[in-house]
Structure 1
Amino acid sequence: MSDTQWHQLNNGETVSISRNGNHQYWIGDNGPKMRSVTGMISHIEGDTFGVGLNWGLKMVREHDGDLNAPRSINKESVDTGNRLHEAIDRYITNGTITEDPVFMSWHNELGGEEWLASEVFLYHPDMLFGGTADAISLSTDGTVTIFDWKTVDPSSWQKYGANLRINKDSAQLAAYASCLTTMGSVYAPLRGCVAYIMRDGSGVDVVEVDLERGSKLFRASRELWLLTTGGK
């Protein structure tokens, strides 16, 4: 099963971009399948293994030795993130307010932005990869900004902030921005921001990323991905 979007280009033309359940993207009806950005940036990580291990042990202790607790809590976290993405998309698309504390924390921080689009399929015509931008906004000075939503654990955020993930998140956002520019989209972002939303609805931290640095990180990670996988 696949979804298709029509993307407006700055030359007045439109291009159809499709995505399937395996997060592969293609152009038109029979274009070659392209891998997603997220599959190419796994080489950019902070010290997440040690942090993840400590978190897992902590969850087991806090749940009376239940070894399945980390898996269950991780699934709940993924579900929370998916629900938030859907709620934000509904709001940007048709103004629907979802009575959910996580969404409302996002809305209180960013609901007043002038949103241009949400859940935007995009692709890079030269490097042949695709992705989905969470949202694109227009500021009062005419600057187009590309946004990414990340739900985070409040206690982990308080301890580490964006330090463990900012490189990977910057690379992802910069790759999306490069797609929009290279494909000639009507959306040509000059800024990139990641909104880190606390999973308990306690707040939102918006971090502007360095798109130039993120682009260098993405290209280096993509090159390593190509070398280790052969592009498959």
Structure 2
Amino acid sequence: MSVGFGGPPIIEGIDLDVRAGQFASLIGPSGSGKTSILRVATGLLEPLRGTVELGVSRCRTSASCFQDDALLPWRTARQNVALGLRIRDLPPAEADARADHWLSKLGLAGYGDRFPGQLSGGQRSGWPSPRCWPCARSCCCMDEPFAALDAIVRTRITQELLDWVEREHLTVLLVTHDLEEAISASDTVAVLGHGPRATMRARHAVDIPRPRDVLEARRHPAFGPLLRTLWDDLTEEAASSPATADGAAR
């Protein structure tokens, strides 16, 4: 698969297979095309060459969330989180109850009636994920959904995601720059090279059993060696990038 926007392809020759019920993470340098792959998977972007095959309907059974919170300023916190559920024809009372549940997980219990403009940037930063998870019936694509969360909320919401994925047997594709997050949550981690024309550098299985506890996963014997492997992959990739070479030449 190749993806571009009129110039050289951003990614080229990408072959990524994510099995049903599998949690896969994409890591790589900035500009390597991680978000572009996510957009192709969700149908927001068509590849220049190649195909995308999904065993489910993108619009009916999948959900996606990106880095921008994209909140509707005229809707309350509860109404924003419940929006996707209401679109899926869930009864209003049940949609609101689920929204309140996820707001409490974000540390926002009691804030459901406030509008986005009445909350701080940090309080708004975690909304994209819980707003899209309940709408996913088979697969979920996420672009750095936890980047702006503080450590405690981030760990708690990641555990909620893992529990949700295992309970609903969801397929997940996560873009992240956090190597520990990628290992803790994933069954497999794919490493992209630098762009343009980025390719798949490596793919690593995460040999940590499920069901999984986020904190306990970091104590598993397989965690440290895989963290070192991913770090080495990215370090070698950074050293070989054209930008690094140009800087050294100057």
With the length of structure 2 as denominator, give the TM-score of the two structures.
Answer: 0.27
Higher relative contact order (CA 8 A, sep 6+): 2
Higher strand share: 1
With the length of structure 1 as denominator, give the TM-score of the two structures.
Answer: 0.29
